[in-house]
Amino acid sequence: MKAWLICNSYLKSAKFEEIYRLLSVAGEKLGIDIALCGNAELLFPIPDRNREELPDFALFWDKDIPLGRNLEARGLRLFNSAAAVEACDDKRRTQLMLASADIPMPAAINGPMTYDPAGIRELSFLQSAGEILGWPMVIKEAFGSFGMQVHLARSRSEAEQIVSTFGNRPFLMQRFISAAAGRDVRINVVGGKVAACMERRSRNGDFRSNATLGGIVAPADPPESAKRLAVRAVEVLGLDFAGVDVLFDDNGAPMICEVNSNPHFATTLAATGVDLAPLILQHCREKTEAAK
């Protein structure tokens, strides 16, 4: 069986390279010939339904949605699908889809859209948002990874300072869950089943728990309610696999923070000893064979 591992041609880092290595090693052990392909290498007419030289499936480890949709139009099965990756890539879309399915999440409000490349010049809406969501308030750019585009505003003036740096980049505002400050649980789901869980904690007072920002990780065994919630979120978003970040409120009830369609599972491997690469590839192979 042959597969493409589609990555971004212009995003180079040790974190991504380690993921590609783990998937390639797992593929070799499972008898899956994996070819690493940058999105700049995959140039096809639109539309193009020629299946010649296509692999059996592709791991879509990029967020080039137009490319993904074009490949799907040609009949190539992507894991995860372009629609599922798009749903996770835009935090506003994730919030809407999950909340519409009655999956608990922190209350949120989309920031207004602007056409001005300099950004939003009139910020009085932040007063209304603060009255609804309270202070402090979490402000997230709609697109971002590793917690780097997530901010905490303790007042309207801080919110104005944060939003004024966005230009015309889209964002949303979210209620701050004080009980979850600096802590969450990453629940990795593959093929509708929980595969590995780890707790992430900040060790420097940051309200974000991301390991990239200095957080520490450890194996975790969250309650079944949290696991069911993670599996349900993955199902609603149409994902084959994902890393689901779960928060817990003052009463210990779980809620979804974010869902990652392309989880950086090297940290999970280090924390739990569970290598998700063979689990993901085995799922892809089974789904591909079942579709023939």
Per-residue pLDDT tens over the stretch 140-197 = 999 988 777 899 999 999 999 999 999 999 999 999 999 998 899 999 999 999 999 9
Residues of the chain with CATH 3.30.1490.20: 108-176
Cα distance between residue 162 and residue 74, in whole Å: 42
Note the CATH architecture for domain 87-104+179-283: 2-Layer Sandwich (3.30)
- Strand-pairing partners, residue 200, are 184, 217
Alpha carbon distances (Å) from 134 to 128, 155, 237: 10, 9, 28
Cα 202 → chain centroid: 19
Residues 25-63 pLDDT 10s: 999 999 999 999 999 999 888 766 666 689 999 999 999
What region, left, alpha or beta, does residue 76 occupy, with left being phi > 0 and alpha being psi -120 to 50 degrees?
beta
Is CATH 2.60.40.1930 correct for 2-80?
Answer: no
Looking at residue 237, what is its pLDDT?
A: 98
209 vs 254, more confident: 254
Class of the CATH-defined domain 108-176: alpha beta
Residues 98-135 pLDDT 10s: 999 999 999 999 999 999 998 998 999 999 999 999 99
First to last CA, the chain: 13
Looking at residue 109, what is its pLDDT?
A: 98
- What SS3 class is residue 54? coil
Question: pLDDT class for 210, splitting at 50, 70, 90?
Answer: low
Average pLDDT taken over every residue of the chain: 93
Dihedral over alpha carbons 10, 16, 21, 23 (to 10 degrees): -100
